[in-house]
């Protein structure tokens, strides 16, 4: 089980326990080294319980269930989505762009969001147009195919919510925009000024590097990724760079975006972790 919170033996946790029971949340309260420990089944539930507790036990009686028929999953979601507005905002924008571009099949709409604009000749411009500054970031929302979208969206959900719960919505948005601009620019420069690319993967590798280095320097529950995740993603990166994935028919891979995103994420993860450790 996952440790949700620890408090003194004198603290009355009965209001919290009643709330968890009313919502159908599986939990256990134990005593360790003179302290009360609340355990739940997973990290996501632990984050919710911690957030409820931090609001104050005196407010818990007012948080009665809206309906006896409310399921535990629905109750958890209703509590958790308020903690990750930036993660949901980015995923919503990605979904809307996927519909707008027909998952990359509607070229007329795709070129409205590419890194460089379309010229009168019908080709993408060789240089970015700084008057259309949004193009520096919008390629991260373009996805080519359902598998491309699903893979990136699931990983953004996994990594984005961890960063947002640890550091807040503004930090996640700032990190996403920064890594997005740098990884997009690197990919455009590496491919010889070809502006037709897209996907969240450069940002995802940046977020992975951020969590990885931060956790190595200043361990915390939010960035404790499952064992093997970092290794798996690095192996996937190596396979992509080898050209094998493209040969197998998965399409062109934005390797420059992946590598630059990973390096930027590692850099900022190291800085943020070092600053946190000094506190």
Give the residue numbers marked as catalytic: 201, 258
CA-wise closest residue to 57 among 110, 122, 10: 10
Please provide the size of the chain in residues. 279
Question: What DSSP string describes 74-88?
Answer: HHHHHHHGGG-HHHH
CB neighbour burial string for 88-101, b if at least 16 within 10 angstroms, e if fewer: bebbeebeebbeeb
Contact assessment for residue 269 and residue 188, using Cβ atoms and an 8 Å cutoff: no
Contact assessment for residue 57 and residue 77, using Cβ atoms and an 8 Å cutoff: no
- Those residues whose C-beta lies under 8 Å from the C-beta of residue 115, and which sit 6 or more positions away, are 128, 135, 136, 139, 184, 185, 187, 188, 195, 197
CB atoms within 10 A of CB 39: 17
CA-wise closest residue to 13 among 63, 41, 53: 53
């Amino acid at each position: 089980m996952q440790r949700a919170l620890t408090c003194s033996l004198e603290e009355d946790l009965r209001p919290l326990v009643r709330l968890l029971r009313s919502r159908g949340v599986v939990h256990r309260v134990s005593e360790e080294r003179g302290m009360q420990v609340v355990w739940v089944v997973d990290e996501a539930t632990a984050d919710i319980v911690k957030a409820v507790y931090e609001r104050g036990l005196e407010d818990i009686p007012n948080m009665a269930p809206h309906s006896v028929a409310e399921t535990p999953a629905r109750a958890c979601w209703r509590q958790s989505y308020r903690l990750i507005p930036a993660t949901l905002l980015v995923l919503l924008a990605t979904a809307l762009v996927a519909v707008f571009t027909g998952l990359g099949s509607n070229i007329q709409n795709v070129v409205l969001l590419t890194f460089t604009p379309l010229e009168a000749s019908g080709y993408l411009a060789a240089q970015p147009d700084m008057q259309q500054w949004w193009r520096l970031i919008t390629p991260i929302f373009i996805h080519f195919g359902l598998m491309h979208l699903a893979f990136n969206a699931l990983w953004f959900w996994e990594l984005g919510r961890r960063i947002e719960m640890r550091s807040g919505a503004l930090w996640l948005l700032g990190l996403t925009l920064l890594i997005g601009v740098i990884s997009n620019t690197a990919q455009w420069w590496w491919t010889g000024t070809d502006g037709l690319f897209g996907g969240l993967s450069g940002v995802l590798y940046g977020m992975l590097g951020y969590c990885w280095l931060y956790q190595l320097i200043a361990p915390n529950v939010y960035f404790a990724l499952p064992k093997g995740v970092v290794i798996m993603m690095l192996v996937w990166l190596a396979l992509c760079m080898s050209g094998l994935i493209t040969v197998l028919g998965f399409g062109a891979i934005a390797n420059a975006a992946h590598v630059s995103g990973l390096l930027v994420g590692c850099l900022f993860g190291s800085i943020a972790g070092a600053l946190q450790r000094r506190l």
